[in-house]
Chains A and B, each alone.
Chain A
Amino acid sequence: MARRPVNVDQETSAGQVDGRCNQVWMSTPDWKPAASLRTLRLRAELITRIRAWFSRRGLLEVETPVLSVRATTDPAIESFSTISAETAAGARLYLHSSPEFPMKRLLAAGSGSIYQICRVFRRDESGRFHNPEFTLLEWYRVGYDHYRLMQEVGEMLQEVLDGMTDPLTVSRWSYQELFLTLAGVDPLSATVNELSECLKGHGITSPQAMPGDNPDPWLDLLMTHVVQPQLQEGIVFVHDYPASQAALARISETDERVAERFEVFLHGIELANGFHELADAVEQRRRFEEENRQRRCAGRQVLPIDTCLIDALAHGLPDCAGVALGVDRLLMIAAGVRNIAESMAFPMERS
């Protein structure tokens, strides 16, 4: 197996190298795959190893619909949609952006721990680390909290990548510790003004269209522009995100400022997002409605809430933690390629 450590530059300094690397696949004729055959073999090997790993641990592999009449309301995700004669007149079907909702319905129905490897779709996400269609590995562990699941993600990565990368170190930071150390600001108490000053101090010109009353986009800007480029090599877990960025995670019982959510970075690349899953149907509905309210305020489409998920939570979701991991990015690291397009046979540009 090839050993090729990946050197992840900061986004800003990576440009020229990127340009050159991109040319390799961009200059091949469109009918040809963007990924090399070596990388495609490595993809197959990686997915085989992942399935074997979950099989050894006794998780059940499941499949859930790619098309649904319901969609995620997450304001930061835009779903593709289509119309079908099979549904009521004019009703839209949405391509899933993650299999989270139906997988939770399976958990509520008593499936026990489950995993899935599937293609998911997100509109308007294209770049060095994004393709609108990509492969997600998502799994749920009944009886786990987010700390125990982080432990398992670390084990899975080390075992699945064994021999494909140099041995991986593991470190763990709370979101607050990480921001205090790498950006010099407390993400749980700073005002928008303080976050804006902090960005200026790091030489970042903020977009003009940033909100004056909501710190989250400012924290996202700091995360992507200041914190992430400084992350160390190896596996880095970041946990206990601000409660305002809980998504589908529980709010911590010991510190209501934070949510029981984590992210996984490998060699500075954001690889996975996990939650100690919210099981409260009322709170889940409230969050969906709040997200739709934000969509309405921004003049964007309001989406049909997944009432089947709400009903499943009302029936009872076992205490569990879940995580979704980008398989293409994992392959980028294993294969040592610098653009996600080079990890896929046919990325969007040549689909």
Chain B
Amino acid sequence: MASYSTNEFRGGLKIMIDGDPCAIIENEFVKPGKGQAFNRVKIRNLKTGRVVDRTFKSGESVESADVVEVDMQYLYNDGEFWHFMTPDSFEQYAADEKAVGESAKWLKEQDLCEITLWNGTPLLVSPPNFVILKVTETDPGVRGDTSGGGGKPATLETGAVVRVPLFVDIGELIKVDTRTGEYVGRAKE
């Protein structure tokens, strides 16, 4: 199994901690005037998303995690799994509910998502930063009101609910920032 020395630690490196794949967020080298040096790192557990602090003796080796991020096209949901495909090799992968999590409400067929694979299995599904989705349900649009003040909830084709300006109508396409869940603007196909 490949491993990394603390000298190789840097943000983004994937390592195994307590049997779980983790990503290093931040690495700080600390050393007293004389004596033992340490690497104090902030790591994100890629399974749970939790961020924890860990300290290693400098020079220690840590097992690497076989984690890669691949862009894949979202195909369909069969009720249990969400299916994705790599656009170049057409390999298909099935992600379970744990991997998809909150991202499910942004997934539209054919959109390109970033899939984090751990030992070849989808661990995390990240939707595109911006998605264009159709409004399926909202209060009738108020024509001419472009102030955007106040706003109203709108349900989108994927089931997501976002706040939109009053003029937005059912059947319209809107652009949403998936990182904040906020309406960005009206969109054309």
A216–B35 contact, CB under 8 A?
yes
- A169 interface residue (CB < 8 Å to B): no
Residue in contact with A125 in the complex, picked from B25, B35, B37, CB distance below 8 Å: B37
Q: Which residues of B contact A15 (CB under 8 A)?
A: 25-26, 28, 42
Query: Which of B55-63, B77-85, B87-95, B129-137 is found at the contact surface with chain A?
Result: B55-63
Q: Does B7 contact A (CB under 8 A)?
A: yes
A172 within 8 Å of B by Cβ? no
Q: Of B30, B37, B54, which contacts A76 at CB under 8 A?
A: B37
- Flag whether A90 is at the interface (Cβ < 8 A): no
Q: Cβ of B33 < 8 Å from any Cβ of A? A: yes
Given contacts A204-B55, A207-B55, A207-B57, contact A224 B33 (CB under 8 A): no
A224 touching B34, Cβ below 8 Å: no
Whole-angstrom distance from the CB of B16 to the nearest CB of chain A?
A: 13
Q: Are B56 and A126 in contact (CB under 8 A)?
A: no
The minimal Cβ–Cβ distance linking B145 to chain A, given in whole angstroms, is 40
Asked if B29 contacts A128 (CB within 8 A), the reply is yes
In the assembled complex, B186 has its CB within 8 A of some CB on chain A: no
Chain A residues with Cβ below 8 Å from B60 are 207, 209
Nearest residue, chain B, Cβ from A78: B59
A221 near B55: Cβ-Cβ < 8 Å: yes
Decide if B150 is an interface residue (CB 8 Å cutoff): no
CB contact between B35 and one of A124, A128, A217 (< 8 Å): that residue: A217
Contact A127 B32 (CB under 8 A): no
CB neighbours (8 Å) of B57 from chain A are 207, 209-210, 217
B53 within 8 A of A: yes
A:1-44 near B, CB below 8 Å? 11-12, 15, 18-19
Tell me if A151 is interfacial: C-beta within 8 Å of chain B: no
- B31 in contact with A74 (CB, 8 Å): no
Whether A19 contacts B30 by the Cβ 8 Å rule is no
Instruction: Tell me the complex Cα distance, A263–B54, Å.
Output: 26
Q: How far is the CA of A127 from the CA of B30 in the complex (A)?
A: 8
In the bound complex, what is the Cα–Cα distance between A64 and B146 (angstroms)? 77
Check: B36 CB closer than 8 A to any chain A CB. Answer: yes
Interface residues in A151-178 by Cβ distance below 8 A to B read none
Q: Does B105 lie at the interface of the complex (its beta carbon under 8 Å from any beta carbon of A)?
A: no
Q: B183 at the A/B interface (Cβ < 8 Å)?
A: no
Which residues of chain B from 45 to 87 have any CB-CB distance to chain A below 8 Å in the complex?
A: 52-60
A19 to B27, CA, bound (A): 11
- What separation, in Å, do the CA atoms of A207 and B53 have in the docked complex? 11
Residue B38 at the chain A interface, CB threshold 8 Å: yes
A69 at the interface (CB under 8 A from B): no
Residues of B within 8 A of A305 (CB): none
Given the complex, which residues of A lie within 8 Å of B58, measured CB to CB?
124
Across-interface contacts of A247 in B (CB, < 8 A): 34
Least CB distance from B56 to A in Å reads: 5
Are the CB atoms of A124 and B34 closer together than 8 Å? no
Is A302 at the interface (CB under 8 A from chain B)?
A: no
User: With A12-B53, A206-B55, A207-B60 given, is the CB distance from A221 to B28 under 8 Å?
Assistant: no
- Given A12-B53, A207-B55, A210-B57, A220 contacting B29 (CB threshold 8 A): no
Task: Tell me whether A76 and B7 are in contact in the complex, defined as CB-CB below 8 angstroms, given that A207-B56, A210-B57, A221-B55 are known contacts.
Answer: no
A119, CB-defined interface residue at 8 Å: no
Chain A residues near B152 (CB-CB < 8 A): none
Question: A273 to chain B: which residues have CB within 8 Å?
Answer: 33-34
Min CB gap A149→B, angstroms: 15
Of the candidates A127, A204, A245, the one whose C-beta lies within 8 Å of that of B28 is A127
Report how far A130 CA is from B39 CA in the complex, Å: 12
Which residues of A204-249 have CB atoms within 8 Å of chain B's CB atoms? 204-207, 209-210, 216-217, 219-221, 223-225, 228, 245, 247
Shortest distance from the beta carbon of B166 to any chain A beta carbon, whole Å: 37
Known: A205-B55, A225-B30. 7 other contacts (CB 8 A): A11-B40, A12-B40, A125-B31, A207-B38, A209-B57, A220-B36, A223-B32
Interface residues of chain B, those whose CB is within 8 Å of chain A, are 7, 25-26, 28-38, 40, 42, 52-60
Complex A-B, nearest 6 residue pairs according to Cβ-Cβ distance, in ascending order: A127-B29, A273-B33, A220-B36, A220-B35, A217-B36, A224-B30
Q: List 6 A-B contacts (CB under 8 A).
A: A15-B25, A15-B42, A125-B37, A209-B57, A216-B35, A272-B33
